């Protein structure tokens, strides 16, 4: 195996520990930012769903503020967002580089996207179920958990899958500005030093990670589809 690596992937073979560290950094960035994104994005998605006109907790002010904030952050290209939120990143994490420095911009970049995914997922819930729950005296909180979230699991799962893949792409972009991970590994060695085998292996690993995320997401969505 080692001889095969040396023959066909010489630069990768010489830097296997560095490649392993880069992969670990990418997975850590996706995991931490993904968990935070899921919690915040789900909360925001639910809030803008239940506070819009005609919804169970209609509140024009709350809806307009949240809707405009989500649209604002969604409109900012991630490479610009990375530098724009640096003061916030430094205040929270104490640094703007390495994995710790990437978490905050990754959250800012992914939460608005996931919130829209959740809003779209919850919009697919049968309104008849909501009306039936209201007629039976269910509270707004009960409707959120027992109707919106329970019935929306398949669509929310698909949105989570799309967001996780987007996050993986964002970590690669963050790596080019000092966050580490596979993006930094591929650019500084594969591109800047013309080590094509490193670039090819990095692309292959990212494709496999995307396929794994899609496989898990599809299984969960299918299992929860009525």
**2 found inside a domain:** no
**125 found inside a domain:** yes
**152 found inside a domain:** yes
**32 found inside a domain:** yes
Residue ranges of the chain with pLDDT lower than 50? none
**4 found inside a domain:** no
Query: Which residues 6+ apart lie within 8 Å of 133 measured at CB?
Result: 142, 143, 146, 147
**197 found inside a domain:** yes
Distance from C-alpha of 202 to C-alpha of 208, rounded to nearest angstrom: 10
For the chain, the domain total comes to 1
* pLDDT tens digits for range 164-176: 999 999 998 887 7
The three state secondary structure string of the chain is: CHHHHHHHCHHHHHCHHHHHHHHHHHHHHHHHHHHHHHHHHHHHHHHHHHCCCCCCCCCHHHHHHHHHHHHHHHHCCHHHHHHHCHHHHHHHHCCCCHHHHHHHHHHHHHHHHHHHHHHHHHHCCCHHHHHHHHHCCCCHHHHHHHHHHHHCHHHHHHHHHHHHHHHHHHHHHHHHHHHCHHHHHHHHHHHCCCCHHHHHHHHHHHHHHHHHHHHHHHHHHHHCCC
Alpha-carbon dihedral 185, 187, 188, 189, rounded to 10 degrees: 70
Q: CA neighbours within 13 Å on the CB side: how many for 55?
A: 23
Distance from C-alpha of 89 to C-alpha of 57, rounded to nearest angstrom: 34
Domain of residue 110, CATH code: 1.10.3720.10
pTM of the model: 0.91
Count CB-CB contacts under 10 A for residue 97.
15
User: For 98, left (φ over 0), alpha (ψ -120 to 50), or beta?
Assistant: left
Q: What is the pLDDT of residue 58?
A: 93
Distance from C-alpha of 70 to C-alpha of 45, rounded to nearest angstrom: 10
**6 found inside a domain:** no
Expressed as residue numbers, the domain containing 148 is 14-223
**3 found inside a domain:** no
Query: Which residues 6+ apart lie within 8 Å of 155 measured at CB?
Result: 120, 121, 122, 124, 221
Distance from C-alpha of 116 to C-alpha of 95, rounded to nearest angstrom: 29
Q: What is the pLDDT of residue 148?
A: 94
């Amino acid at each position: 195996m080692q001889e095969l690596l040396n023959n066909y992937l010489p630069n990768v073979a010489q830097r296997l520990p560095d490649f392993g560290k880069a992969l670990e950094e990418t997975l850590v960035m996706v995991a931490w930012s993904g968990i935070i994104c899921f919690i915040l994005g789900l909360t925001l998605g639910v809030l803008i769903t239940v506070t819009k006109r005609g919804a169970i907790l209609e509140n024009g002010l709350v809806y307009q503020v949240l809707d405009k904030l989500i649209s604002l952050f969604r409109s900012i290209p991630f490479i610009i967002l990375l530098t724009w939120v640096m003061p916030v990143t430094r205040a929270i994490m104490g640094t703007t580089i390495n994995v710790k420095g990437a978490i905050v911009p990754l959250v800012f970049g992914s939460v608005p996207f996931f919130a829209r995914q959740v809003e779209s997922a919850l919009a697919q819930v049968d309104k008849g179920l909501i009306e039936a729950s209201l007629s039976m005296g269910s509270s707004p909180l009960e409707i959120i958990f027992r109707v919106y979230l329970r019935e929306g699991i398949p669509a929310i799962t698909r949105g989570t899958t799309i967001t996780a893949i987007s996050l993986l792409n964002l970590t690669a972009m963050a790596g080019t500005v000092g966050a580490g991970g596979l993006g930094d590994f591929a650019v500084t060695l594969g591109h800047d030093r013309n080590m094509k085998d490193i670039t090819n292996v990095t692309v292959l690993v990212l494709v496999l990670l995307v396929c794994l995320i899609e496989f898990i997401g599809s299984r969960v969505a299918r299992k929860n589809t009525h």
